[in-house]
Structures are given as structure tokens and as C-alpha cells.
Amino acid sequence: MRAFAIAFILIVIGYSCYGQNSAEFDRCVDGAKPQSVLNECASEEAMLADSELKTTSDGFLAKIAGDSRAIAKFKEAERIWRLYREAYIEAVFPAQDKQIAYGTEYPMDVNLLRAKLTREHLGAITYLVSEYQPTQ
């Protein structure tokens, strides 16, 4: 019984990591599909999240267009965040030969994690947009 409870908790935690998927992703993976199709769906999900982040970031840059200091700080923060995102993904999947270590699901898992991290960051950028105060 204890092993079942632990397995159930791990499954719920694992699934919740990917709980922010778009409706497009859900439609893409609906039904039994080969792993290659699921990998492509996850790749599209990561690209969609990156596109959403770019749109929001571009909007924020337009909002702060007259504030060169804020622009420089924002761009530096974005550069560092992208490094963090890649380092985080590498920490989750540290094996040298990832395909052997993590199997055919590896591309899907990486892209879903990339999308999740990007959407979390998108929330932070959205907050920044709402809280921005121009410098005097």
C-alpha cells in the first residue's frame, strides 16, 4: 500500500509539472499517437510559449521605450533568465547521452519543461508590465 501511495504521489507531481499546457497541445496529443508525433506536439508547445513571451516582452519594451536604463536592465535580466532556463533543464536531465538515459520521450519532456518554465516567466513579465513606474 505504501509503494502505491508513493507511486501515486510521484505521478501526480510529475503530471502537475506539465499542467500549464495550451489547448493546442491538448488537441495535438488527444488520442493514441506515436512518440514522434507527441515529441512534435511538445516542440510546438515550447515554440508557442516562446512566442507568447516574445510578444509580452516586446510590448513591455515598447512601454518603456523612453527609459534606456530600464531597457538595458530588462534585456540583461532576460539574457540571464534564458541562461537560467537552460541550466535548469540541464539539471533536470544531467546525463551525458540524453537519448540513451531518458529514451524517446526525452525531446517531449524537455520541450514541455521549457514551455512550463517559459510560461512561469511570462507571469513574472506580466507582473512587471503592470508594476512598471517610469524613472524621473
Residue position matching grid coordinates 508547445? 45
Of residues 106 and 136, more confidently modeled? 106
pLDDT at residue 28, as a whole number = 85
How many Cβ atoms sit within 10 Å of the Cβ of residue 53? Answer: 19
pLDDT at residue 13, as a whole number = 41
The rounded percent of the chain whose pLDDT value lies above 90 is 68
Least confident of 48-52, 79-83, 127-131, 132-136: 132-136
Q: Looking at the domain that runs over 2-131, which CATH code has it been given?
A: 1.20.1270.180
pLDDT at residue 5, as a whole number = 41
pLDDT at residue 136, as a whole number = 63
Q: CA 28 to CA 125: how far, in whole Å?
A: 27
Mean pLDDT of the residues in the chain: 86
Full-model pTM? 0.80
DSSP 66: T
* Banded pLDDT at 1 (limits 50, 70, 90): low
Residue 88 pLDDT > 60: yes
Domain boundaries, the chain: 2-131
